[in-house]
Structure 1
């Protein structure tokens, strides 16, 4: 290969990577503190037993984002607008409410994480930090818009991935035990169900599904960018997120599991020991930096999700040039400041947050699959492989969400407000999901041509 050809190839690769972004914003949420807490908790509590869920989460996460990317580019619409056009206003509002509830809870819990980690690092009160970060977030996103978010997401997610992947080379991983962890099983009741739902919820989440069309719009992508969109999904969710989650899990299972008692409370100080073989006495500082970076990037990406959907539903522009959209971004950023006043250990709350989001995710998956197979919404037939992959994600997400809800009910009581809210939300979203599936089946039957008597078969 000549130098000119080689230089041209390198330039082409660099150009392609420089154009990436929309799914990296989703990856900033996926590789965030909640996923970190779920993956570390799964490895620390059950050793290698839930490795299958971790591997599956990356594959299903990439599949889900591919379907969302495909819908966004082929319709060249925001997902709420597409739903309203082809399914009706009621279904659009259900999607908006579902997403706002999941992302709103995430905003508060992740802000609690950012504030408490910032407080630990600096020694200042976490409540003060929650206000500071809310103001920084509001000013940065309202002023810098999408590009501010995308650049930060790429940089911080890359640092977090490198830190945890490097640590995997310094720990003794039990290959036999890891292989046995690829056999699907959910151990130990609610603890196992919660962690499994949390791990999958980090990659297959309604927030990630719904934001994809808007971040692509913000980047100016159209149908002409379809190949770039696939590359974006593969590099961020399948490679970066997959490597990050598997490496983090293996380190936790190798280092923390022998010392951690199942049923114990995993916190930042205990989780930091996972990096001990790599960083020694600096393990806690390195872990806190990684956790802080993941939380900041996730918080920035999550803040724009409710404004995107509300703006699309209410007919606003989905960018900061519209004062109403900008005000919504500021409002969500400031509401997050309440996180520091939320009780409980943030590591536990992060996992519960993901499991809760997973409960509302099957509805969003059905919406995407419905529209991709609606001839009036998408101008070309959805590939069979894409439909099979989407249905597989739907079934697995529904089963894990169902197991979590069942065990939440078994362990709790209807008089407990958290349990009652989770069950009410689960019932409402299950009814909406089944209703939409029924609507799709009826529509498909009406559109199927019948063979008249006496005609050639």
Structure 2
């Protein structure tokens, strides 16, 4: 019977790599491009509603000053995904069982369950975003509940068909990945085209400020963007209230941007998609290339373009139609409601304990009596959707172009993300049950996120894009589970055997992984404390305590999975 190495040497893709290496770097690059695939799956999920929402609100709240954040988050993700790809391709084993046997079953089960929960939670806003793209940009006459139900049903049907192609063998995998490449490419082109159009318009873009925004600035965690200085000064004695509101919103959006760059469910997808394609340790270089070109570059381009577009139109600018500015614009009812809610927060802060005793009319009178500076600040901070961005860009790039480019871009993001969330859920479902990731069990597992069709009805009347922010904060809390597990795997001789990195290479990987792990733990800790404080800390401590107990009481680890030297 042929060994694993002989099988790899006989595979067509393995032969392509050997021949390309002999012909030189140009041929190798072309072969890498032809064989790439799992990275594009990652790109299809990372370019979803959460990334778009994070980018939109980064621009709204911080202007161009946080251009660096999503780049940093993506670099972190590439480091950790490269680590799990190295382990998976070195061993040829599915990571879930390897973690349970060689690291800690609490971490393994925590990783799987957190992935499944994250998939279901993240799918809810995707359907909401997709229906909003259709009803607000592409087909504005479809607004009834029946119309929305039809749109959701069509989206779910398309996602199921695309996902089940993946379960049809090698041709299905190639077709599936090809469809996602087209979706990702269309998304990038849509938003890249918007920035091109803005830069060529009369207003243009401040490229010096944009380039300066790629320099990291951690002050944004504790203070508002400098461009709010004049508007805050105009609020007088209430400037502290508004400053704190801006900082709180900035923190949530920063966490969202990091959590959606590489989420915990993405860490579950990559190893299984590589094994499904038959990759082994000879494909480790291709895996890193695939992540860099198929995931990182499209993500950085698309999200950077959304930040630039939203900052140019919304940052430190009151939303049109909320103030008596003579613009003649009528603000949407949803935005007016959000604006009044912000003013009521200001009134509540001013009235203190007496606020609860006031009637609705008295609360409204106090809101109407607030100084102009407060009203202007509230109009700046009101939550926008990408569809507001499309409308604001209409005078610059044309109403039809703005509506269709944002409509198709957002719908493409929603569909690609739903499809990938379904695929990951199928893998996770099979792993939990100890079944091969194929056939009927995999297809049934893919249906778990279908509950997301309720999103447009559960969150009706709210800013669809802001809903991706709390779900992403939840995802950020879970991310260190995966990152910490991968760090332990890359340092486990029990798993890697003689494939364990040595010398300078091991130091290099550990430094990079420790940086990524530390940053993810910092973001998760911040999210836990800001949302649940001691309850969240107690939950995290209980999880870590259980992992430590199991570590010390479990039986001895089995022998190494991988023994052959690279």
- TM-score of the two chains, using structure 1 as the length reference: 0.84
5 Å-filtered alignment, 1:185-196, equals: 185=219, 186=221, 187=224, 188-196=246-254
Q: Deviations over 1:313-333 (max 9, x none)?
A: 3221112xx22112222x225
5 Å-filtered alignment, 1:265-284, equals: 265-273=383-391, 276=394, 279-281=397-399, 282-284=401-403
Out of 25-34 and 429-438, give the one that drifted further: 429-438
CA distance in 2, matches of 1:406, 1:168: 37
Match for 1:307 among 423, 426, 432?
426
CA distance in 2, matches of 1:435, 1:275: 52
Distance 1:173 1:236, change over 3 A: farther
CA distance in 1, matches of 2:190, 2:157: 29
The 8 Å contact of residues 119 and 129 in structure 1, kept in 2 or not, is answered as: no
CA distance in 1, matches of 2:312, 2:552: 47
- Correspondence for 1:428: 539
Match for 1:184 among 199, 218, 221?
218
- Correspondence for 2:507: 384
- Correspondence for 1:102: 118
CA distance in 1, matches of 2:472, 2:513: 20
| Correspondence 1:221 to 2:255 | no
- Correspondence for 1:414: none
Match for 2:518 among 395, 403, 428?
395
Highest Rg: 1 or 2? Answer: 2
Tell me, what secondary structure is at the counterpart of 2:217? Answer: coil
CA distance in 2, matches of 1:339, 1:239: 30
CA distance in 1, matches of 2:112, 2:466: 26
Q: Deviations over 1:3-39 (max 9, x none)?
A: xxxx997665443212111021111111222101111
- Correspondence for 1:408: 531
Match for 1:27 among 21, 43, 50?
43
| Correspondence 1:256 to 2:375 | no
The 8 Å contact of residues 106 and 547 in structure 2, kept in 1 or not, is answered as: no
Match for 1:327 among 437, 444, 452?
444
5 Å-filtered alignment, 1:340-359, equals: 340-343=456-459, 344-359=462-477
- Correspondence for 1:364: 482
Distance 1:295 1:425, change over 3 A: farther
| Correspondence 1:119 to 2:135 | yes
CA distance in 1, matches of 2:296, 2:121: 26
The 8 Å contact of residues 141 and 148 in structure 1, kept in 2 or not, is answered as: no
- Correspondence for 2:261: 203
5 Å-filtered alignment, 1:241-252, equals: 241-252=299-310
Match for 2:160 among 132, 138, 143?
138
Distance 1:275 1:144, change over 3 A: farther
The 8 Å contact of residues 363 and 432 in structure 1, kept in 2 or not, is answered as: no
User: Which ranges of structure 1 fall in alignment gaps of 5 or more residues?
Assistant: 1-6, 411-422, 447-457
Out of 270-279 and 142-151, give the one that drifted further: 270-279
Match for 2:416 among 284, 297, 302?
297
The 8 Å contact of residues 43 and 250 in structure 1, kept in 2 or not, is answered as: yes
The 8 Å contact of residues 160 and 294 in structure 1, kept in 2 or not, is answered as: yes
Out of 334-343 and 104-113, give the one that drifted further: 334-343
- Correspondence for 2:237: none
The 8 Å contact of residues 64 and 390 in structure 1, kept in 2 or not, is answered as: yes
**1:337 positional shift:** 2.0
The RMSD of aligned alpha carbons is 2.9
Tell me, what secondary structure is at the counterpart of 1:347? Answer: coil
- TM-score of the two chains, using structure 2 as the length reference: 0.69
CA distance in 1, matches of 2:180, 2:404: 21
User: Which ranges of structure 2 fall in alignment gaps of 5 or more residues?
Assistant: 1-22, 168-172, 225-245, 319-378, 558-566
